[in-house]
Every structure is written in structure tokens, then in C-alpha cells.
Amino acid sequence: MIKAVLFDLDGTILDTVPDIQACVNDMLRRHGYPEIDYAHTCAYVGDGAKMLIERALPKGVPDLDACYEDFRTHFAASKNELTRLYPDETEVLESLKAKGIRLGVVTNKPQDAAENVLRQFFPAGFFDFVGGDSGMFPCKPDPSLARYAALTLRVAPAACAFVGDGETDAKVALGAGMCGISVLWGYRTRIRLEEAGATRFAASFKELQKILEKIC
């Protein structure tokens, strides 16, 4: 029986790529490098901010670390004016909470940036756990942060569902011994998710709710 649902953030509970692209391109302009388009931004997200910046920059640039720190500083303070919730999301999440299901966020987004954007779209305390890249754990697909989330929520990993749009999320679910559900409204294709080991798929929040109702 599922007692907690852990969500990825970017591409799962918030459509953040437009703001990520804007912040990356602001940094690239400040440092004199070519900007990236929406498609490349979608392809580059999912493995943490440092990897995002490394992918966005031309290979071999001498100021990678400076560019990363520049991006992180501005990204953490972003107003996220282009970010959006997904259809039916609020209704579904509130329904899960009403049933006593604990909700958490496990993301490769920097911790301060994750907390900042969640404050802008959800009431204080809406999520029972928020874990991002704080330096305490390796980034996904390492399952350590997901396991720590379960421990913090006092829920066995087997009683957790892990919901995400990326290959890293599918791998975390497998590695942490959680029930993995891959969503198809994010930034990866079903084929890529299947290649990462995903076996359950939801095309909308309503469909996700039906899947969870069967296993909760």
C-alpha cells in the first residue's frame, strides 16, 4: 500500500523549462557565449544544474565554474514568471493529501532554487519533504536522497511511489525499491523512459491519480 508519493520537480509538477532557458541565456549573454534554444534546454535538464551549464556552454571553456556560480546565484532568485502548473494538478495533489498520503519533492534542482519556485506555486508546508541538490547527497539517478526522503517521512521505500518525467527518475525508483510512475507530459519521450526501465506511465494528472488509486 502506497503511503507517500515523491515527485520530481522540473517537468513533473512544474513546467519550468521556459524560465530555466531564460536564466541560462542571461548567463550566456553576460559571458559572451551563444544562447541555447528551447529544445536544447529540454534535452539538457534533468541531471543537475552543473551538468546543465556544462552542456549549455561550448566545450572546453575556461570559465565553467564562474558561469555555473553566476547561473546559480541568479537562478535561485528567479521570479519564475514563465513557469506553470500542469492541468488538474492542484486538484489531484489536494485529493492525495486529503487521503492522508504524504507528498514529497526529490529533485536535482539546487535546493535554494527548488524552495524558491515551490514557494511561488504552493502554500507553505504543502509538501512534507523537499529535497534538492544541497551537496549532502549525489544527484539522481543515485537513490540516496529518495531513500532519505522515505526515512524522513517514516515510510518504507516499498510504500512510496516515485513520480517523474526523466530517465533519472525511473532509475531512482528502481534503485530505491519504490513504485515508479513515469509521466509523459514532461521533457522525455516514452521510448527513452522505457529504455531507462520505466514500466508504468501516466499521460495526465488525472491518469496519474487513477494509477495511484489502484495501488494506494
Catalytic residues, by residue number, are 8
Cα–Cα separations (whole angstroms), residue 18 to 28, 36, 115, 139: 15, 11, 18, 22
CA separation for the pair 184, 30 (Å, rounded)? 34
Q: Cell triple for residue 73?
A: 546565484
Nearest CA to 10 among 34, 43, 58, 36?
43
Q: Cell triple for residue 116?
A: 524558491
Do 49 and 72 form a contact (C-beta atoms < 8 A)? yes
Strand-pairing partners, residue 102, are 4
Q: Cell triple for residue 83?
A: 513557469
